[in-house]
Structure 1
Amino acid sequence: MNEQTSISRVIPAQPRTGLGAFEPRVPERAGAIIGGAIVLALVALGIVHVFVSGLMTSTPGYVKPQDDGSTQYVNVVLPKKVSGSGEIFLPGTLHGYIESPIYSRATGYVLHWYADIGTRVTRGQVLAILDTPEIDQELAQAIAQRNEANATLALARTSYERWQELREHDVASEQALEERQSTYMQDVASLEAADANVQRLRQLEAFKRIVAPFSGVITQRNVDIGDLVYAGNVSGRALFAMVQADPLRVYVQLPQAYAQNVKQGQDVTVTQAELPGQRFHGSIAHISGAIDASTRSLQLEVRLPNPDNRLRPGAYVQVALRLSADGPLLVPDNVLVFRSEGPRVAVVGQDGKVQLRKIVIRRDLGESLEIESGIGPADKIIINPSDSIADGEHVRIVPGQQMVRLPTS
C-alpha cells in the first residue's frame, strides 16, 4: 500500500478517455488568463508613463518634481528689446508761426490792391488803398470845430485877464471874476476835446492804407477794386489772410499713458506722405500743463524750422516722438504673477533665488507685453510661474534647457 502511494505521487495520473473521461477544472484556466491580463496592463501603464513624462518635460514652463523635496526646477525666458521701439507716431497739421486774417478798420471802397495770393510781403508794406469819403468829411468838420473852440478860448482868456485887473482895483466883485475864470476853464476843456476828436479821425483815416502787420506770404485775397468794406469784421469776411511759414508750428495730442515721457526741448521728426524719404527735424516748444479730460491727452506744440519753404501750412503730417532712449522690452504674457500690489514677474537671480519684480506695462499686445520698466534684457524670467511662488524662494533652471527667446520683430 505504501509503495503504491509513493509511486502515485511521482507519476501523475493520466486523464481518462472515453466514457469515463472528465474535463479539466475551469478555475485553473481562468486564473492563468487573469494573470496574463494583469501583466499586459502593467506593461501598458509603464509605456504611457514614460510617454507622458517625456511630453511634460518638453513643455515650456513645466516644473519638474523636486528632487530633494525643497528645490523647484523652472524654465525661463529672456526679454527681447523691441526693434524701433521708443517712438510713437502722432498725426498733426502744420500751422504758420503767425497766422492772421486782415480786416479793415475804416468803412469805404477799395481803390486798389497791391498783393495777391502767394505774394511775399514785408511788415508795413501796403496791401490795398481804400476811399473813405465819410471819414474825410468827419475829419474836416472836426478840424473846423477845433478852430472854433480855439477862438472861443482866446476870447475867454482875454475876458478873464481883464476881470482880473478890475478886481485888483476893486471895481469888479469876486463872484464876477470867478464866473469869468469858470468860462475860461470850460473853453480850455472844449479845445482839448476838439483836439482829441481830430486825432481820432486822423488815425482812422490812416486805416485807408491796409498794410501787412508782419512779414510773410498772402494766402487769401477776398476783395477787388470797388468793393465796399466795413470797419471791423461786420461782414465776417477778411480782406486778406497772411501767414508766416518759417518756422512752423505743429500741435499734437499725446495720449495720457506717455505724458511722463516727454520734455520741453526734446527733438522730434516730422514726415509728410507727399514728400517720401524726407525727414524734417524740430523740437517740442511748449507742453500743456494739464491733461484734457475729454480726450485724456496732453497737447504739445512742436516748433519746426522751414527755411526753404518745402512744407506748407495746413498740410497733414506725422510727428515721430521718441519717448525713451532704450525703448521697452518684450516678454510673453505667461510670465505675469498677479499680486494685490500690481503685476509682478519672477526673475531668477545669480544665487538661484526668486526675485518678484514690480513692472510697468506699456502696451498689451495679446500674446506678448511691452514692459516699460522693472526688468533688464539679461534677466531670466520664469515662464508659467506658480501662484504660490514667493520672493526669495530657491529654484533651479531645468538642466540642459536652451534659453527661450522671443522671435525677432
Structure 2
Amino acid sequence: MTAPLDPNRPPSWLKRQAKGHTRLLLTVAVVIVALVVVSGIASRLLNARALKVQTAARAVQSVTVTTAKLGPREEELVLPGNVQARSEAPIYARTSGYLKAWYVDLGTRVKAGQLLAEIETPEVDEQLRQAEADLNTIEATSQLAQSTAARWRDLLAKGTVSQQAADEKNADANAKRAQLQSARANRERLLQLQGFKRVVAPFDGVISSRRTDVGQLIAAGSGVGPELFHLVDSSTLRIYVQVPQPFTPVLKVGTEAGLRFAERPGRNFPATLVRMADALDANSRSLMVELEYDNRAGELLPGSYAEVHFHLKNASPSPRVPATALLFGANGQRIAKVASDGKVTLQKVAIGRDFGNEVEIVEGLAADEPFALDPPDSLTDGQVVRVAKPETPKPPEPRAAER
C-alpha cells in the first residue's frame, strides 16, 4: 500500500521523493536497453557462427560412394550371326547351244550326278564330225609317212639313197605323228563339250532357283549368260560370327553356342564352334569364327539372321564399375577411391572389357573397395569429401484396383 500523503510535510521533501522515482525509472530503462542491445549482439554472434559452420559444411564437396563388384563367373555373350549353307553353287552350262529340256525345278531335291537339263549343241556336233574326218585323214597320211620312212631307212642301209633323203622322210613321219596327236586331242575336246550337253548336279542338295527354259540360247561359261540353276546343300549350316577382341581368349574350337531366331520365339538351336581365324580383322578388331549346325531336319534356312548366344565361363572375374566413375586426363583413366574419413585418392586403373554402361577394371581397384560413383572433374587427390550413399529407387506405388 502507498502511504498517505502527510499534509504537514514540507514541499522540499516531496521534490526529493519525485527525483528519486525519476532516477529509478531511468536506471530501469537503461538496464532494459542494455539487455536488449546485449541480446541482439549475442543473437548476431550466434547467427554468424552458425552461418560460418553451415558455409564450411557446404564447402566440403558431396559425392556418392559405392563399392566395386566382381563380374559374374559365367556370362552370356550375344552376337549377330550370318547363316550360310555348307555348299552352294550356281550351275552354268559348259557348252553352247539351245536348252532341249529341264528335269528339275525350284525346291527339287537332287543327288550328285543327277541329270538336271539337256542342251542341243548343233555347232559342237558339226565340229565333232569335222574333227573325226580330219583325224581319219591324218591317221592315213601318218601311216603312209611311217611306212615310207621305214623303207628309206632300209635303202639307206644298202647305200641306195643318201642320208639327207632318209632324214627328210623321217622328219615327215614325225610331223605326221604330231599332227595325228593334235587331231586326236581336238576330237577328245569336242567329245567332252558334247558330253556337257548333259547338265548334272555336282553334289546332293536342293534346287533354290531355275533361271532357264526350253529353247533358250545357252552360252558356255559363267561370265556370258545367266546361271541355269542354283544348288544349295543345307543339311549342315555354317554360321559366321565376328567376335570382339576382348572375348577371343575364352573361345576355342568345340565351344557350344545357342542360335535364336526372331521368327522362332522360345526355340534354341545348338551349334558348335568348329573353326577360328588366325588373325583379327584390322578394321573391326574382331575375330571371324565359324559354327556348324546339323540341319538335316531342314528347320533352318540359309541366308537367315541369327542371334548367337555364347555362355562364357570366367574363373577369375575382375571388378566392374559404371563407366561414369572413370576420370579421364593426361595421366590416363583414374578412379576416385574414397576412404572412411572422406579422403579421396585418385587411383590410376587399367580397363579391360567395355560393356557400354559398365567397364571391367583389371588393375588398380579391388572388389568391395569404395569409390565415387560420378566424381566431378574438379576433384583432386587428397581432397576431403562428404560421403553420400547412392539413392535407392522407390518401389512403385500400388495401383488402385480397377472397378
Q: TM-score, normalised by structure 2?
A: 0.75
Q: 2:293 aligns with which of 297, 304, 311?
A: 304
Q: Show the counterpart of 2:14.
A: none
* One-letter identity of the residue aligned with 2:110: V
* 1:120 aligned onto 2:109: yes
* 1:369 aligned onto 2:362: no
CA shift at 1:122, angstroms?
A: 1.3
Percent identity of equivalent pairs = 31
* 1:33 aligned onto 2:36: yes
CA contact (8 A) 2:69 2:321 kept: yes
CA shift at 1:77, angstroms?
A: 1.6
Count of aligned residue pairs for this structure pair: 367
CA contact (8 A) 2:156 2:162 kept: yes
Q: Show the counterpart of 1:157.
A: 146
Question: For the residues of structure 2 that align with 1:93 and 1:76, how far apart are their CA atoms?
Answer: 41
CA shift at 1:210, angstroms?
A: 0.5
Question: For the residues of structure 1 that align with 2:359 and 2:31, how far apart are their CA atoms?
Answer: 71
CA shift at 1:313, angstroms?
A: 0.9
Question: For the residues of structure 1 that align with 2:71 and 2:226, how far apart are their CA atoms?
Answer: 55
CA contact (8 A) 1:328 1:370 kept: no
Question: For the residues of structure 2 that align with 1:100 and 1:334, how far apart are their CA atoms?
Answer: 51
* 1:208 aligned onto 2:214: no
C-alpha change, 1:372 and 1:230, in structure 2 (3 Å) is farther
CA shift at 1:116, angstroms?
A: 1.2
Q: Show the counterpart of 1:14.
A: 20
Q: 1:289 aligns with which of 279, 304, 313?
A: 279
CA shift at 1:155, angstroms?
A: 0.6
CA shift at 1:339, angstroms?
A: 6.6
**Deviations 1:202-246 (CA, angstroms, capped at 9, x unpaired):** 111111110111111110111222222111135431100011112
CA shift at 1:383, angstroms?
A: 2.7
**Deviations 1:41-67 (CA, angstroms, capped at 9, x unpaired):** 344456667878999999655xxxxxx
CA contact (8 A) 2:79 2:241 kept: no
* 1:388 aligned onto 2:391: no
Q: 1:177 aligns with which of 158, 166, 183?
A: 166
CA contact (8 A) 1:81 1:377 kept: no
Q: Show the counterpart of 2:179.
A: 190
Q: Show the counterpart of 1:140.
A: 129
C-alpha change, 1:85 and 1:35, in structure 2 (3 Å) is farther
* One-letter identity of the residue aligned with 2:86: Y
* One-letter identity of the residue aligned with 2:234: A
**Which segments of 5 or more consecutive residues in structure 2 lack a partner in the other structure?**
1-16, 340-344, 394-403
* 1:360 aligned onto 2:363: no
SS at match of 2:101: strand
CA shift at 1:277, angstroms?
A: 1.0
C-alpha change, 1:314 and 1:49, in structure 2 (3 Å) is same
Q: Show the counterpart of 2:78.
A: 88
Question: For the residues of structure 2 that align with 1:237 and 1:225, how far apart are their CA atoms?
Answer: 14
* One-letter identity of the residue aligned with 1:39: A
C-alpha change, 1:322 and 1:374, in structure 2 (3 Å) is farther
* One-letter identity of the residue aligned with 1:360: I
CA contact (8 A) 2:68 2:371 kept: no
SS at match of 2:222: coil
CA contact (8 A) 1:288 1:300 kept: no
Question: For the residues of structure 2 that align with 1:289 and 1:374, how far apart are their CA atoms?
Answer: 27
Question: For the residues of structure 2 that align with 1:328 and 1:197, how far apart are their CA atoms?
Answer: 72
CA contact (8 A) 1:345 1:381 kept: no
CA contact (8 A) 2:78 2:307 kept: no
SS at match of 1:278: strand
Q: Show the counterpart of 1:318.
A: 307
CA shift at 1:381, angstroms?
A: 2.7
Q: Show the counterpart of 2:396.
A: none
* One-letter identity of the residue aligned with 1:387: T
Q: TM-score, normalised by structure 1?
A: 0.74
Q: Show the counterpart of 1:343.
A: 333
CA contact (8 A) 1:347 1:357 kept: no
Question: For the residues of structure 2 that align with 1:180 and 1:269, how far apart are their CA atoms?
Answer: 78
CA contact (8 A) 1:82 1:330 kept: no
**Which segments of 5 or more consecutive residues in structure 1 lack a partner in the other structure?**
1-10, 62-74
Q: Once structures 1 and 2 are overlaid, which stretch shifts more, 222-231 or 313-322?
A: 313-322
